[in-house]
């Protein structure tokens, strides 16, 4: 089924200069889709970089300016929260590493611009996580999830504390002691991630994941996030990350080595192929060949490619058609299969399902 809105959005991301020639009717399809996929701000950044922002219709520019204003406000909020977390840990000597959106913002990455991030994700050494939690709670954060089940689910299976929300500002910090492996077969050595992390200028004790790890975390996230609706945004992040770090000497070989070490060949293969196909992301041929060798047997590979491709290309589509819904659900279930043993899967989903119907979920 033709999807001109999705095709137009991909084209705008792939060749920003083409936006200058978009007809009003196409804009009227692309803008709502981009808005629902969380990508309007990014279109603005790309149009600006391509030097065609001034050539766009005035009403399109209005919306890009508006999205940029919101994004800038989010960026400021992220920086502020990072500063607050740092102050809360003042004197403990505990450093922390920024993940995902916060890493993009503080790392000054292009990917950060126009991206809406609501939570701050940080990684800390496992042996200090209790102290971090205590400090944050002393400084005004509090736990959102209180049921014993949730506590265990987060701490044991998600490698993180249940989300901590600040009482006054209502912002959320997710404190991780590891990032999720994509399969239960492998463990990621969090100490290595922390050791490779790069300092943030002007903020002692704050680091961001090393470029290769940042990319791999994005890939893992792309496959694990139940909200595949924002998959295209994650893929656009990947595109920005690879364009940003690609020219850095040693980046591609470090990424190849890390990918092999963590056994992430297959997901990296899927993600790179889609980034290249949908967004024209430049990929190092050696890495491409290396991860290509890890591909699943053809029938499975084809199935995954099809599911992912559909889910990504239609991110932000309001009322998804049936194949897209199936693709999303398959990915959601898949991410759950990978996260925990099958016995727990049933329990967790059932619980989530039942809790949806409780009018008051606080204080359960």
Partner 1 sequence: MRRWRVTGCRPDLIRLWDDQCVLFNLSSGQTHQLNALAEAALRIMMQRPMAPSEIAEALAIELETEADPAWVQQFDQLIAEFDRLGLIEPVP
Partner 2 sequence: MKLGELSTDETAAQLAGAGLALETGPFAVNLRCAAPGAAAFIRLLYPEHRVATGEVVHTDVAVRPHFNRRRPWRREAQLHIDDRPLMQALPRRFAAPMLEWGLNFAIGSRAHHLLILHAAVVEKNGRAVVMAAVSGSGKSTLCAALVSAGWRLFSDEFGLIRPADGALMPVPRPVSLKNESIEVVRRLMPAAVISPPYHDTAKGTLAYLRPPDDAVRRQFEPAMPAWIVFPKFRAGAPLTATPVPRAQAFADLLANSMNYIALAERGFAAMARLVESCPAFALEYSDIPAAIAHFEGLAAGETAA
Residues that bind partner 2 (CB under 8 A): 24-25, 27-28, 31-32, 35-36, 57, 59-60, 62-63, 65-67, 69-70, 72-73, 76, 318-319
**Residue 336 binding: pick among partner 1, partner 2, none (C-beta 5-8 Å cut-off by kind):** none
173 forms bridges with which residues in the sheet?
120, 164
Those residues with Cβ within 8 angstroms of residue 266's Cβ, 6 or more apart along the chain or in another chain: 291, 294, 295, 296
Which CA distances in Å does 305 have to 110, 217, 230, 299?
27, 20, 17, 10
Q: Which is nearer to partner 2, 66 or 303 (CB)?
A: 66
Q: Which tokens in the block code for residue 305?
A: 């490619």
287 forms bridges with which residues in the sheet?
none
**Residue 235 binding: pick among partner 1, partner 2, none (C-beta 5-8 Å cut-off by kind):** none
Instruction: Give the 3-state secondary structure of residue 165.
Output: strand
Q: State yes or no: residue 199 binds partner 1 (CB under 8 A).
A: no
We find the least distance from the C-beta atom of residue 121 to partner 2, in angstroms, to be 23
**Residue 204 binding: pick among partner 2, partner 1, none (C-beta 5-8 Å cut-off by kind):** partner 1
Q: State yes or no: residue 266 binds partner 1 (CB under 8 A).
A: no
Supply angle C-alpha 84, 87, 89, rounded to 5.
Answer: 115
Q: State yes or no: residue 79 binds partner 1 (CB under 8 A).
A: yes
Q: Which is nearer to partner 2, 77 or 296 (CB)?
A: 77
Closest CA to 211 of 254, 274, 267, 174: 254
Q: In this structure, what DSSP letter does residue 154 have? A: I
Provide the edge-to-edge strand list for the sheet that holds 172-176: 141-143, 164-166, 172-176, 119-123, 96-99, 203-208, 198-200
d(CA 45, CA 302): 34
We find the least distance from the C-beta atom of residue 200 to partner 1, in angstroms, to be 15
We find the least distance from the C-beta atom of residue 223 to partner 1, in angstroms, to be 34
Q: Which is nearer to partner 1, 117 or 268 (CB)?
A: 117
Q: Which stretch binds partner 1 (CB under 8 A): 37-45, 73-81, 264-272, 302-310?
A: 73-81
Q: Which is nearer to partner 1, 87 or 361 (CB)?
A: 87
Give CA 345 to chain center in angstroms.
Answer: 23
A 10 A CB-CB count for 263 gives 15
Which CA distances in Å does 125 have to 82, 94, 132, 188?
17, 8, 10, 13
**Residue 83 binding: pick among partner 1, partner 2, none (C-beta 5-8 Å cut-off by kind):** partner 1
Q: Which is nearer to partner 2, 57 or 246 (CB)?
A: 57
Q: State yes or no: residue 80 binds partner 1 (CB under 8 A).
A: yes
Q: Which is nearer to partner 2, 171 or 305 (CB)?
A: 171
Q: Which is nearer to partner 1, 88 or 216 (CB)?
A: 88
Residue from 4, 83, 108, 292 in contact with partner 1 (CB under 8 A) = 83
Q: How far apart are the first and last CA of the chain?
A: 45
Residue from 59, 76, 134, 152 in contact with partner 1 (CB under 8 A) = 76
Interface with partner 1 (CB under 8 A): 73, 76-77, 79-80, 83-84, 87, 204
């Amino acid at each position: 089924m033709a999807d001109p809105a999705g095709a137009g959005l991909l084209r705008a991301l792939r060749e920003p200069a083409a936006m200058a020639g978009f007809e009003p009717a196409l804009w009227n399809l692309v803008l709502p889709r981009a808005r629902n996929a969380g990508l309007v701000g990014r279109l603005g950044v790309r149009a600006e970089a391509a030097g065609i922002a001034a050539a766009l219709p005035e009403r399109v520019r209005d919306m890009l300016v508006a999205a940029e204003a919101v994004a800038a406000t989010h960026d400021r909020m992220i920086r502020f929260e990072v500063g607050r977390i740092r102050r809360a840990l003042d004197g403990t000597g505990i450093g922390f590493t920024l993940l995902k959106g916060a890493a993009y913002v503080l790392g000054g990455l292009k990917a950060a611009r126009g991206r809406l991030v609501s939570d701050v994700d940080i990684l800390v050494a496992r042996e200090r996580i209790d102290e971090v939690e205590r400090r944050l709670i002393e400084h005004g954060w509090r736990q959102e999830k209180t049921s014993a089940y949730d506590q265990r689910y987060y701490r044991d299976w998600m490698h993180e504390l249940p989300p901590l929300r600040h009482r006054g500002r209502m912002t959320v910090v997710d404190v991780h002691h590891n990032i999720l492996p994509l399969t239960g077969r492998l463990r990621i050595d969090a100490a290595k991630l922390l050791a490779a992390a790069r300092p943030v200028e002007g903020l002692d004790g704050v680091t961001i994941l090393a470029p290769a790890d940042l990319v791999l975390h994005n890939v893992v996230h792309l496959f694990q996030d139940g909200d595949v609706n924002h998959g295209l945004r994650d893929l656009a992040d990947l595109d920005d990350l690879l364009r940003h770090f690609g020219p850095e000497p040693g980046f591609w070989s470090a990424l190849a080595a890390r990918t092999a070490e963590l056994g992430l060949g297959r997901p990296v293969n899927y993600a790179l192929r889609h980034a290249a196909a949908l967004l024209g992301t430049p990929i190092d041929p050696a890495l491409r060949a290396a991860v290509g060798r890890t591909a699943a047997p053809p029938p499975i590979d084809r199935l995954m490619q099809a599911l992912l491709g559909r889910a990504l290309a239609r991110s932000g589509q309001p009322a998804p058609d049936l194949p897209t819904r199936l693709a999303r659900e398959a990915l959601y279930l898949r991410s759950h299969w990978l996260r925990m043993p099958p016995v727990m899967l049933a329990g967790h989903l059932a619980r989530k399902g039942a809790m949806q119907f409780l009018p008051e979920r606080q204080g359960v």
